Chains A and B, each alone.
Chain A
Amino acid sequence: MARLELESLSRHYGATVAVRDVTLDIPDGEFLVLLGPSGCGKTTTLRMVAGFVEPSGGSIRLRGEDITRRPPWRRNTGMVFQNYALFPHMTVAENTGFGLEMRKVPKAEREAQAREALRMVRLEALADRLPRQLSGGQQQRVALARALAIRPDVLLLDEPLSNLDAKLREEVRIEIRELQRRLGLTTIMVTHDQEEALTMADRLVVMAEGAIRQVGTQRDLYERPADRFVAGFVGRSTFLSGTVEAPGRFRTTGGLALACDPGAPPGRAVLALRPEAIGLDPPPHADNRLGGEVELLSYLGPVLEMHVRLSPEDRVVVHLANRAGLAAPRIGDRVALGWPAGAGMVFAEP
């Protein structure tokens, strides 16, 4: 059981705080994604788990053992680097067998295990090539095979797909995810790509400015974001700033009076609306029913994206499902929009 526990992990560089008080309990076999903009501390956190960065405070436990001060070469973590970091002077097979060689596995057994790891990523035919003779996608899979060959307790993926082109990225995502599930490997992946994070993760951790903003499943983050940052980072939102005047009453700075969640405390706040929560031509008794002018239209395939001006200060983004019979508005049209009071998420502003 390779359970990984991070407790109050932090890292300072002089006065700069790279990671602040990160506590995570990652059960055996979970695929956890650290998601956040660059500089949010996600990579530093991963590198602390690998042992490349020494924590300034806190502890790391793997299988219940404290490994906080253990050097990287005695941790049994398998890491896939962003630029793959394949050893250029070794063949694919030698790269894959390197970790086993370090573990003093006898040659014959080592070769068999390396071949097995290469078979998992469907590269056994290229075992005798040098890394520079491979395509980017193939190099990426060698890096994965090399990390898997040591049968790591934890698999660490540092932006593993960022150097691949879009089409390949989608394939590799699925491949990695299926492999991870089949092997039951505890995995931490770092990425700034929310789509990648959403498709691969069992659970996500959104980080910003060195600290965890929210931990949860895709549904948790999307439907119940902890703060305005998460609401903006995971999925899209329109933010209307204004004030909660009374329970259930929100007034935008543009002067619109809107019905909102009655639980929201009074005071300055922003109201976040998901584009698909807003509907066209709401029933007369809808909580919110507003008129506006279409300023921008984009045809995105599955949805039609509309930017609608509700007041001089307020503009919302609306996604209409591209169903048969949709009477698509045009730029300049007046439309009626509506949404239930519960669809708006209210975040208090300082």
Chain B
Amino acid sequence: MLDGLRLRRLALRGAAGFALAFILLPLLLVTWLAFFRQEIPAFPPQGYTLHWFTTIPANRAFASGFWLSLQVSVAATTLGLLLAVPASLALARAGFRLRTPLATLLTLPLIVPGVVFGAAFYVGEMELEIATEWPLLGSAAGLVLAHTLLVVPWAMRLVGASLATLNPALEEAARNLGATPFTAFRRVVLPAIRPGVVAGALFGFVTSFGNLEASLFLVGPGQTTLPIAILQYLAWKIDPTVAAVSLLQILLLGTAMLVTDRFVKLSQVV
């Protein structure tokens, strides 16, 4: 007879196993598909090949899409952190009544549907362009601005979480020993919240790199990010190239996460 404790443990393991399978199955399928030999994916595979990986660099849309995505994500993550870290600090010092509404406001881009966000940004950039004659629409700068807004909520959340556990006396101790506010921040506060900053950067980067809906509105002619390139390719063909590209993207982001985890334990902040 199963006693209650064993039953509970079994149920817990079952649920965990199911959730894990649910998360990993698409990844496994994409990985498998990337090596299929036939052009139209069908089960069972007729054989395996690395052919689809070799065609990627030759595909201009994927190659340039990858570079644009990388540039935009790096720029947006940098800008996002430059905004989010001071904002989190200000928020942590703000009065209680100000803190909650401001924190909610800054996480809004996470809640607004991506398409709506993209369309709104499109209209905004158009109005700005008309007003200032600055060719923002369709430029990389316009894309970076939008992606920055996508990075900010993640960075705010994670940096904020780090700041919340920071001992306020640390900064006072630094000032007491002769550090100006800026030096105290650089030498004491920043190292202490580094896990949050790194995790925020990583999540911001991943969000930006994988973003499709908002980018759709904002890219210029002949300029596409990787997710858009994949979408456009899929409109014409469904050969395993897409799976191969996706696998490379998964590997890139996965490596970034593993490398990050070596420096700060992500499980501590997220």
Contacts and interface: CB of A to CB of B under 8 A. Distances in A.
Q: Do A and B assemble together? A: yes
Interface of A: 50-52, 71-74, 76-79, 81-83, 85-89, 98-99, 102-103, 146-147, 150
Contact of A102 (B167, B179, B191): B179
Which of A51, A77, A99 has most chain B Cβ within 10 Å? A99
Interface stretch (B6-14, B52-60, B169-177, B211-219): B169-177
Q: 4 closest Cβ contacts across the A-B interface?
A: A102-B178, A99-B177, A85-B169, A85-B173
Which of B172, B174, B176, B178 has most chain A Cβ within 10 Å? B176
- Classify the interface of chain B: helix, strand, loop or mixed: helix
14 contacts: A50-B176, A51-B175, A52-B172, A73-B179, A73-B184, A74-B178, A81-B172, A86-B173, A87-B174, A87-B188, A87-B192, A102-B177, A102-B183, A147-B176
Contacts of A102: 177-179, 183
A35 to B, nearest CB: 22
A81 B178 contact: no
A74 B178 CA distance: 6
A187 to B, nearest CB: 15
A83 B178 contact: no
B191 A77 contact: no
B180 interface: yes
Given A72-B172, A102-B183, A85 B167 contact: yes
Interface string B150-188: 000000000000000001011011111111100110011
Contact of B192 (A52, A74, A89): A89
A100 to B, nearest CB: 9
Which of A76, A83, A98, A102 has most chain B Cβ within 10 Å? A102
Interface residues of B, number: 18
Contact of B170 (A71, A73, A87, A147): A87
Contact of A87 (B173, B176, B178, B183): B173
Contact of A98 (B169, B177, B191): B177
A258 B178 CA distance: 60
Given A83-B167, A87-B188, A150 B177 contact: yes
Contacts of A147: 176
A50 B179 CA distance: 13
Contacts of B188: 87
A83 B169 contact: yes
Contacts of A103: 178
Contacts of A74: 178
B177 A81 contact: no
B175 A72 contact: yes
B173 to A, nearest CB: 4
A88 to B, nearest CB: 7
A305 to B, nearest CB: 40
Contact of B172 (A76, A85, A99): A85
Which of A71, A76, A98 has most chain B Cβ within 10 Å? A98
